[in-house]
Amino acid sequence: MGLSFLSIRGRSGLERFLRSLGLMLIFLAAGWAFTKNYENVIDRLNAESSIRDETGRLSDEDKAFLREFESLLRRRFGQEFRLRVFQDEIVRPTLDSRTLFVGLSPARREVAIEFPELVLAALGRDFAANLAREVFAPAFERGDWPKALREAVTEVWARLTLPPEPAAPEPPAAETPK
């Protein structure tokens, strides 16, 4: 039988050429669509593995917000984001030099925030402790830590995207009397 079903038929050479071109375009479009679908599946799997909530308290909206933060952080700064919400004790994973980690244990009212060196340079060494003390501690008391998590991530993004402060102007040179 062979591959006779793939033979291109036409009345003229131009018609056969146009049909061949159309067939190639169909295959290219199918390949492109497959590639895009595969990229979306990989992105979704990566995002799901980077954001884990053992308590089940994060809503779909919260998770979508955090995935967007993760995506922006990766695209704009080349940094990774990992969030773990534990039922009990916080277990710190082994991190590389590009991963921002946030670990929460609402039951124990604990938070662990670790920034890569590059991010620490932009945010300041005491930024993580300030987030834990000023954002998460009151939220654990109120029981609304998912909202505090969104606030903390928003604050991190705002600080990372702020333009650097201009250097203070030098005071004018004192005139010497003549």
* Full domain range(s) for residue 118: 51-160
Average pLDDT of the residues in 114-118: 92
Is 75 inside any structural domain? Answer: yes
Provide the edge-to-edge strand list for the sheet that holds 99-105: 51-53, 80-85, 99-105, 110-114
Here the CATH number for the domain that contains residue 79 is 3.10.310.50
Say if 115 falls within a structural domain: yes
In a domain, 3, yes or no: no
Would residue 87 count as lying in a domain? yes
Between these two residues, 105 and 1, which has the higher pLDDT value? 105
- Flag whether 151 is in a domain: yes
Q: What integer best gives the mean pLDDT of the chain?
A: 86
Residue 12 located in a structural domain: no
User: What is the distance between the alpha carbons of residues 79 and 156, in angstroms, rounded to a whole number?
Assistant: 13
Alpha carbon separation from 154 to 21, 59, 96, 159, 168 (Å, rounded):
50, 17, 23, 9, 28
- Averaged over 121-143, what is the pLDDT? 92
- The answer to whether position 14 is within a domain reads no
Q: Number of folded domains in the chain?
A: 1
Task: Compute the Cα dihedral for 132, 134, 138, 139 and give only its sign.
Answer: negative
DSSP type of residue 6: G
- pLDDT tens for each residue of 57-98: 999 999 999 999 999 999 999 999 999 999 999 988 888 899
Is 101 a member of any domain? yes
Tens digits of per-residue pLDDT, 3-20? 665 677 778 888 888 888
